[in-house]
Homo-oligomer: A and B are copies of this chain.
Amino acid sequence: MILFYSDYLEGCHPSILNKLQETNLHQTPGYGEDDFCGQAKETIKNICEAPGADVHFLVGGTQTNMTVIAASLRPHQGVLCASSGHINVHETGAIEHSGHKVLPLPAKDGKVCAQDVCAALEAHYSDPSFEHTVQPGMLYISFPTELGTIYSKKELLEIKKVCSDWEIPLFIDGARLGYGLEAEGCDLLLKDIAQIADVFYIGGTKQGALFGEAVVICNEKLKTDFRYFIKQNGGMLAKGRLLGIQFDALMKEGLYFSIARDAVRKAQRISEAFRKKGYDFLVESPTNQIFPILPKEDEERLSSDFGFEEWQKIDADHIGVRFCTSWATTDEQVDALISAI
């Protein structure tokens, strides 16, 4: 069986394991106050061209989302988000557990648009009972989205303008950031993300690390006391160095981007194979996740040799599925799948 279920099926990129091996006996202070973390933060700020940003390392995505949102909102505020957004559907109510309503927006292929964000804000403030409703206090988007789609620079700038006009921060969940930046047709660089977002994160878990997400806080107002929030939300890793070591390995020589590029290329080869055979797709995704629609019999046939995720039932005879690639996906695995298609 060859598995394409997700991009977190294996351990980590070998260069990370090597680094962990090399540094294993170094003695460092805990909680992310070591030199490995210091070094990795500098590297990230350089690549982001954001010398004034604050960088923090957390362990996982849900933890990062709940920590950033808790640190940004007051209790009467909620977070605007595509109805398909991860915080709205797949975090067991972690945001509500912190006291905040997720305010779902219409989503098209996982994306929100500036008009809908603006409409939601206008609707709130023009409601005479506005104080009886949750105040939108932040916009959360994913790049790429949960459906593998990406925003163009123009779209992001339009969204950002609405956020600025209404004075709410823009938070970009970058759990798979590299796969988005390396997608065909993406006209954004990491530094653009750092310029547009008030706060975002660079996902490690799904891009070659054992675990880890690097939060970059660009907006001065969101920086205050952030480390208290990491601790309060259970994200302050005792051996914080592990995060510094991993992000150092990922970011220093462009590994993060080459991993992503390679995985995207492989996913698109698979996509192309399905397309050639005339399959439709749930959504056109240019990143490392693809979503073909399979007739039942093809799904059954393929699933005897390959693992992939059932995503959405279409009708009695068809199902939308997800194939995912990662740093660990080999050309042989992709070739085997393509032959089977």
Contact = CB atoms under 8 A, between A and B. Distances in A.
Interface of A: 1-3, 5-6, 8-12, 14, 17, 20-21, 23-31, 59-63, 66-67, 70-71, 74-76, 78, 89-94, 96-102, 128-129, 131-135, 205-206, 210-211, 225, 227-229, 231-239, 241-242, 307, 310, 328
Contact of A62 (B98, B128, B205, B234): B234
Contacts of A60: 59, 234, 236-238
Copies, count: 4
A71 B70 CA distance: 14
Nearest to A21: B17
A220 B235 CA distance: 28
What is the interface of chain A mostly: helix, strand, loop, or mixed? loop
Given A24-B12, A59-B59, A92 B238 contact: no
Contacts of A91: 132, 231-232
Nearest to A72: B74
Given A17-B21, A97-B98, 13 more contacts: A8-B239, A11-B25, A11-B26, A12-B24, A60-B236, A71-B75, A75-B98, A75-B229, A76-B93, A90-B129, A90-B133, A96-B99, A206-B238
